[in-house]
């Protein structure tokens, strides 16, 4: 009997190694050294080695942890889409929740050696730490077997996601090959019309317009900069070609093949001087740095804002547009082509940015019993079939059949039942872990174009007309941040403190343009004292490394 | 001594009830204390406590050499002092005032209304405060403008000079009612005969407060005073984090706890955060011991 089992185990051995290509061959060494009954059965149960894991052929269950304070995973199977997946693909996902303190939860799981199978997290240096500690499963062997990720994300994106050992550990979310993003300027159409629809193209136009608004509408905030005054960073793009808000968070501005100090960047200095002027003359919200999201939302949705700039003004803009239109069909919001300083090329102005790598990633940990099966699921999930179901629900409700690109054919009900449709789409929002942006947008656009303008979705309309054309591709600047407890990380923290402070001070307290400049000079000195040059060097090196990977 | 032991065993049923509390404190407060040793390590999550390397006083040296330290210490001490001098006596004053109110309904209403804010979280309280103090449509600015006290709105939350006042005021508003409950309880325990005797002797209401009410409350006040001094360096955390989010205020709003949170916890520098926390705890123990030593002279000390 034992001999028979042994023979069975031996026969399976080469096949098993074939399956994982000699890479971390779990099970196989133990199978050869101590061929016990348990390893033999363990090896026999998965699908024939070398083959792909067929989703739905056997039940798959894994635990999933969303590494965010705000994230609580909805119950798997609690909505129509995941219920369909649970029933038809036999996939069950068990939530591990952060309970409002993600960092502590993850630390606890690491320390107690109790990792979830999948971690959904920001694409940052912390992932690299997990990898370096040998806690993650590489995907390279699965990429060709399961074609969706490779097909839709593309080689370039995958290369950027690779870790320093050359392997791929991160499954991207909302990755894209076409421009994305919502940053820009939203304008109150009623006020705009009443003021005679003046030209709104340059910063001078904007300034003159805001002055007019202040005179005629004392209760309206002429320029709203959003929570944390992000609109000021959006406006940075107006003062230089190829400048985008992303550089302010990056704390470095590309010049040639080097990253230079943000404090000395002429465009940045000018943008703060302009913001300071708006603030001093009460043309900008006076609560720019102290208000929270609720305060902004209240102002926009009641129409007490004339121009609103931020990184995602579309969401509030759409909500405000609907709210205002209900009371007065003439009211609402529209978007304008990004403002630029006179003399600059308006086609090189990028208020926002997008990253081919998308938003965040899923990683599979070594705690997973069958990582290949989990990868197979994620790959299916990001493919056309998975995306159709998780975004628009099971077939037969809002779509029926699919075109050649896998784009769903939307039904009548998709248009006539917006309430039910939105409810369904909202219910799965937090289960979209591997959003395939290009696929979704192509499907959506194709459909929107068949609708009359007033039936079109507000956000989709402005995205296609303006924002997607004015977002900069910043993929090459990905992953420039050092780990937080490294020497460069500590410098980054200090420089960031200096930046936040000087940015607020320059806008709120400076009495003149000269004073803004003097404050920024002082900030540069302070930053150099804590090692800004070393940080810029580190970021420049990482950037150049990225360029090599992309092959530019 | 023997007597005490006999008494202890005679009360065995009562003593048993203390055991869960002792066990709780031992398990959750004493056992995890070895974690302070992290302050002397370069703690790494992946290596764990037993395999992280020891670095001696490295993190303490970094903490004391940090350029922000002077500012952080000043703010901690000033905000701590303000809370001790204003937020601590405020409930006592309220309790004394309520005690003098003769209309029971009025007293009850005031008491209820004033202690309710205690149950609101700081997120909500700070939201109120920001709304009231904001420039666009803020109630306080509108009021002052209507009264013609100011020409244009004041940006209260962007002016560092106002921050401490705003912080202490919101703190007092939130906690005054709840804090006064314990003092009202102490007052209600005073023998009414003393007041009768005093008024027969011709003592005015103020004299009665000064000579009867206050001395009778003194043991409670002293105990809470000792605790407040021990809490001195806990200048605040949530309130400061939420009300002082404007970067312009950092110079006046950064205290030890917010600094540790920002630098240590948010950046995974656990050892550094532990070192700073340990430093704070040591000072707090010193202060507590000092306050207790002084209180012993009045026979009302904690130990």
By Cβ distance, the residue of A290, A489, A497 closest to B134 is A290
Q: What is the pLDDT of residue A52?
A: 82
- Chain A nearest-CA distance from B52, in A, is 12
Residues of B in contact with A126 (CB under 8 A): 268
In chain B, which residue's Cα lies nearest the Cα of A132?
Answer: B46
Contact yes or no for B157 and A500 at CB 8 A: no
Contacts for B82 with CB less than 8 Å, ≥ 6 apart: B164, B168
Contact yes or no for A292 and B127 at CB 8 A: yes
Contact of B160 with B251, CB cutoff 8 Å:
yes
Q: Which two tokens stand for residue A238?
A: 């107006």
A200 touches chain B (CB under 8 A): no
Distances (CA, A) of A130 to A23, A118, A123, B47, B263: 18, 12, 12, 12, 21
Residues of B in contact with A129 (CB under 8 A): 45-46
A291 touches chain B (CB under 8 A): yes
The position carrying tokens 């000395």 is: A264
Contact yes or no for A489 and B267 at CB 8 A: yes
Return mean pLDDT, chain B: 89
Q: What is the pLDDT of residues A499-510, one digit of tens each?
A: 999 999 999 999
Q: Cβ–Cβ contacts within 10 Å for residue B60, how many?
A: 17
Q: How far is the C-alpha of A259 from the C-alpha of A261, rounded, in Å?
A: 7
CB pairs under 8 A between A and B: 85
Q: Are strands A305-310 and A171-172 parallel, antiparallel or unpaired?
A: unpaired
* Region B258-282 average pLDDT: 87
Q: What is the pLDDT of residues A102-154, one digit of tens each?
A: 888 998 898 888 999 999 999 887 888 899 989 999 999 999 999 999 999 98
Q: How confident is the model at residue A26 (pLDDT cuts 50, 70, 90)?
A: very low
Q: Which neighbouring-strand residues pair with A305?
A: A221
Residues of B in contact with A132 (CB under 8 A): 46
Contact yes or no for B267 and A508 at CB 8 A: no
- Chain A nearest-CA distance from B20, in A, is 26
A422 touches chain B (CB under 8 A): no
Q: How far is the C-alpha of B93 from the C-alpha of B109, rounded, in Å?
A: 17
Q: How far is the C-alpha of A276 from the C-alpha of A261, rounded, in Å?
A: 21
Backbone φ, ψ for residue A221 (5° rounding): -80, 115
A290 touches chain B (CB under 8 A): yes
Q: Cβ–Cβ contacts within 10 Å for residue A526, how many?
A: 18
By Cβ distance, the residue of A129, A291, A497 closest to B130 is A291
Q: Which two tokens stand for residue A75?
A: 């119950």
A449 touches chain B (CB under 8 A): no
Residues of A in contact with B135 (CB under 8 A): 285-287
In chain B, which residue's Cα lies nearest the Cα of A133?
Answer: B46
Q: Which A residues, 499 through 528, put their C-beta within 8 Å of a C-beta on chain B?
A: 500-501, 503-505, 508-509
Cα atoms in the Cβ-side hemisphere of radius 13 Å centred on B123: 3
Contacts for A476 with CB less than 8 Å, ≥ 6 apart: A543, A546, A547, A550, A552
Q: What is the pLDDT of residues A341-382, one digit of tens each?
A: 999 999 999 999 999 998 899 999 999 999 999 999 999 999
Residues A145, A149, A150, A152, Cα dihedral to 10°: 140
By Cβ distance, the residue of B133, B248, B268 closest to A505 is B248
Q: How far is the C-alpha of A469 from the C-alpha of A57, rounded, in Å?
A: 44
Contact yes or no for A290 and B158 at CB 8 A: yes
Secondary structure element (H or E) that encloses residue B42, with its range: strand B41-42
By Cβ distance, the residue of A282, A290, A295 closest to B246 is A290
Q: How confident is the model at residue A426 (pLDDT cuts 50, 70, 90)?
A: confident
Residues B25, B30, B33, B34, Cα dihedral to 10°: -140
Residues of B in contact with A304 (CB under 8 A): 136
By Cβ distance, the residue of A111, A289, A509 closest to B45 is A111
Substitution target in B121, B246, B267 with the highest count of A β-carbons within 10 Å is B246
Q: What is the pLDDT of residues A48-104, one digit of tens each?
A: 445 788 888 899 999 999 999 889 999 999 999 999 999 999 999 999 998 888 888
Q: What is the pLDDT of residue A536?
A: 97
Contact yes or no for B155 and A497 at CB 8 A: no
* Region B158-162 average pLDDT: 90
Contact yes or no for A289 and B67 at CB 8 A: no
Q: How far is the C-alpha of B168 from the C-alpha of B239, rounded, in Å?
A: 10
In chain A, which residue's Cα lies nearest the Cα of B249?
Answer: A501
Give first-to-last CA distance, chain A, whole Å. Answer: 61
What 3-state class would DSSP assign to A39? Answer: helix
Q: How far is the C-alpha of A236 from the C-alpha of A352, rounded, in Å?
A: 10
Return mean pLDDT, chain A: 86
Q: What is the pLDDT of residues B96-144, one digit of tens each?
A: 999 988 898 999 999 999 999 999 999 899 988 988 998 888 899 999 9
Q: Which A residues, 59 through 88, put their C-beta within 8 Å of a C-beta on chain B?
A: none
DSSP string, A486-552: SHHHHHHHHHHHHHHHHHHHHHHT--SHHHHHHHHHHHHHHHHHHTHHHHHHHHHHHHHHHHHHHT-
Residues of A in contact with B134 (CB under 8 A): 286-287, 290-291, 295
Contact yes or no for B267 and A490 at CB 8 A: yes
DSSP A186: E
Q: What is the pLDDT of residue A238?
A: 96
Q: Which neighbouring-strand residues pair with A471?
A: A352
By Cβ distance, the residue of A285, A294, A501 closest to B247 is A501
Contact yes or no for A501 and B248 at CB 8 A: yes
A280 touches chain B (CB under 8 A): no
- Chain A nearest-CA distance from B118, in A, is 22
Contact of A363 with A127, CB cutoff 8 Å:
yes
Q: Are strands A91-96 and A60-66 parallel, antiparallel or unpaired?
A: parallel
- State the pTM of this model: 0.76
Residues A223, A229, A230, A236, Cα dihedral to 10°: 70
Q: How confident is the model at residue A33 (pLDDT cuts 50, 70, 90)?
A: very low
| ipTM for the assembly | 0.71
Q: What is the pLDDT of residue A466?
A: 93
In chain A, which residue's Cα lies nearest the Cα of B241?
Answer: A290
pLDDT at residue A409 tops 80: yes
Residues of B in contact with A282 (CB under 8 A): 152
Cα atoms in the Cβ-side hemisphere of radius 13 Å centred on A481: 20
- Chain A nearest-CA distance from B155, in A, is 7
Q: Which two tokens stand for residue A261?
A: 């100090």
Contact yes or no for A485 and B263 at CB 8 A: no
Longest dimension (CA), chain B: 77
- Chain B nearest-CA distance from A370, in A, is 23
Closest CA to B158 of A54, A548, A141, A504: A504
* Region B273-292 average pLDDT: 89
Q: What is the pLDDT of residues B16-45, one digit of tens each?
A: 999 999 999 999 989 888 888 889 988 887
Q: How far is the C-alpha of B231 from the C-alpha of B88, rounded, in Å?
A: 11
Q: How far is the C-alpha of B263 from the C-alpha of A495, rounded, in Å?
A: 12
DSSP B135: S
Contact of B33 with B281, CB cutoff 8 Å:
no
A530 touches chain B (CB under 8 A): yes
Contact of A337 with A192, CB cutoff 8 Å:
no
Contact of A226 with A308, CB cutoff 8 Å:
yes
Q: Which neighbouring-strand residues pair with A340?
A: A202
């Amino acid at each position: 009997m034992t001999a028979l089992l042994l023979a069975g185990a031996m026969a399976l051995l080469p096949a098993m190694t074939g399956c994982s290509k000699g890479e971390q061959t779990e099970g196989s060494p133990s199978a050869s050294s101590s061929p016990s009954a348990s390893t033999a059965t363990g090896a026999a149960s998965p699908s024939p080695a070398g083959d792909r894991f067929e989703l739905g052929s056997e039940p798959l269950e894994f635990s999933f942890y969303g590494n965010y304070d705000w994230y609580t995973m909805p119950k798997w199977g609690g909505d129509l889409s995941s219920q369909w997946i649970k029933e038809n693909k036999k996939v069950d996902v068990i939530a591990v929740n952060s309970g409002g303190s993600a960092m502590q939860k993850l630390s606890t799981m690491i320390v107690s050696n109790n990792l979830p199978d999948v971690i959904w997290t920001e694409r940052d240096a912390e992932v690299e730490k997990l990898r370096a500690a040998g806690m993650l499963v590489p995907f390279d062997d699965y990429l060709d077997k399961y074609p969706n990720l490779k097909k839709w994300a593309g080689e370039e994106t995958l290369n950027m996601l690779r870790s320093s050992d050359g392997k791929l550990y991160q499954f991207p979310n909302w990755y894209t090959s076409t421009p994305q993003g919502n940053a820009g300027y939203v304008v109150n159409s009623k006020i705009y019309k009443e003021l005679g629809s003046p030209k709104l193209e340059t910063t001078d136009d904007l300034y003159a317009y805001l002055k007019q608004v202040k005179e005629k509408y004392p209760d309206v905030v002429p320029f709203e900069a959003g929570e944390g005054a992000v609109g000021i960073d959006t406006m940075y793009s107006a003062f230089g070609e190829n400048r985008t808000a992303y550089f302010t968070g990056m704390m470095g501005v590309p010049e040639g093949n080097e990253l230079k100090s943000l404090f000395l960047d002429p465009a940045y200095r000018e943008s703060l001087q302009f913001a300071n002027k708006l603030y001093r003359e009460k043309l900008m919200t006076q609560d720019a740095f102290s208000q929270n999201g609720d305060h902004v939302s209240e102002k926009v949705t009641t129409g007490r804002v004339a121009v609103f700039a931020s990184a995602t003004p579309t969401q509030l803009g759409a909500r405000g547009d609907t709210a205002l239109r209900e009371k007065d069909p003439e009211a609402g919001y529209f978007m304008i082509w990004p403002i630029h300083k006179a003399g600059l090329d308006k086609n090189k102005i990028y208020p926002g940015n997008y990253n081919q790598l998308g938003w965040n990633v899923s990683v599979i940990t070594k705690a997973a019993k069958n990582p290949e099966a989990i990868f197979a699921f994620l790959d299916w999930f990001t493919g056309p079939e998975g995306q159709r179901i998780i975004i628009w629900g099971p077939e037969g409700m809002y779509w029926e059949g699919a075109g050649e690109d896998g784009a769903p054919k939307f039904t009548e009900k998709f248009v006539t039942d917006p309430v039910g449709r939105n409810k369904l789409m909202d219910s799965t929002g937090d289960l979209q872990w591997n959003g395939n942006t290009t696929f979704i947008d192509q499907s959506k656009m194709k459909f929107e174009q068949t609708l009359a303008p007033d039936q079109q979705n507000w956000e989709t309309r402005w995205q296609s007309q303006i924002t997607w054309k004015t977002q900069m591709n910043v993929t090459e600047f990905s992953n420039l941040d050092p780990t937080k407890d490294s020497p460069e990380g500590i410098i980054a923290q200090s420089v960031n403190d200096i930046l936040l402070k000087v940015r607020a001070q320059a806008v709120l307290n400076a009495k003149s343009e000269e004073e803004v400049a003097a404050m920024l000079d002082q900030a540069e000195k302070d930053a150099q004292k804590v090692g800004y040059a070393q940080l810029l060097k580190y970021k420049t090196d990482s950037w150049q490394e990225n360029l090599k990977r992309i092959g530019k | 001594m023997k007597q005490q032991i006999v008494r202890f065993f005679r009360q065995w049923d009562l003593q048993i009830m203390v055991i869960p509390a002792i066990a709780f404190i031992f398990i959750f407060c004493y056992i995890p204390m070895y974690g302070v040793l992290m302050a002397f390590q370069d703690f790494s999550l992946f290596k764990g406590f037993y395999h992280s390397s020891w670095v001696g006083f490295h993190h303490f040296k970094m903490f004391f050499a940090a350029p922000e330290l002077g500012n952080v210490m000043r703010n901690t001490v000033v905000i701590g002092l303000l809370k001790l001098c204003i937020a601590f006596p405020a409930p006592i004053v309220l309790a004394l005032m309520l005690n003098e109110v003769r209309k029971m309904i009025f007293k009850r209403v005031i008491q209820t209304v004033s202690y309710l804010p205690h149950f609101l979280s700081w997120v909500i309280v700070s939201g109120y405060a920001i709304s009231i103090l904001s420039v666009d449509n803020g109630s306080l600015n509108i009021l002052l403008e209507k009264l013609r006290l100011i020409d244009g709105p004041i940006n209260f939350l962007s002016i560092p000079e106002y921050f401490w006042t705003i912080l202490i005021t919101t703190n007092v508003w939130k906690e005054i009612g709840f804090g006064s409950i314990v003092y009202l309880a102490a007052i209600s325990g005073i023998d009414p005969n003393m007041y009768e005797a005093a008024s027969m002797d011709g003592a005015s209401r103020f004299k009665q407060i000064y000579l009867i009410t206050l001395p009778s409350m003194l043991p409670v006040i002293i105990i809470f005073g000792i605790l407040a001094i021990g809490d001195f360096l806990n200048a605040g955390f949530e309130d400061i984090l939420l009300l002082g989010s404007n970067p312009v205020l950092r110079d006046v709003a950064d205290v030890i706890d917010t600094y540790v949170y920002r630098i240590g916890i948010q950046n995974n520098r656990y050892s550094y955060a532990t070192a700073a926390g340990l430093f704070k705890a040591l000072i707090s123990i010193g202060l507590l011991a000092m306050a207790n030593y002084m209180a012993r002279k009045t026979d009302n000390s904690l130990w």
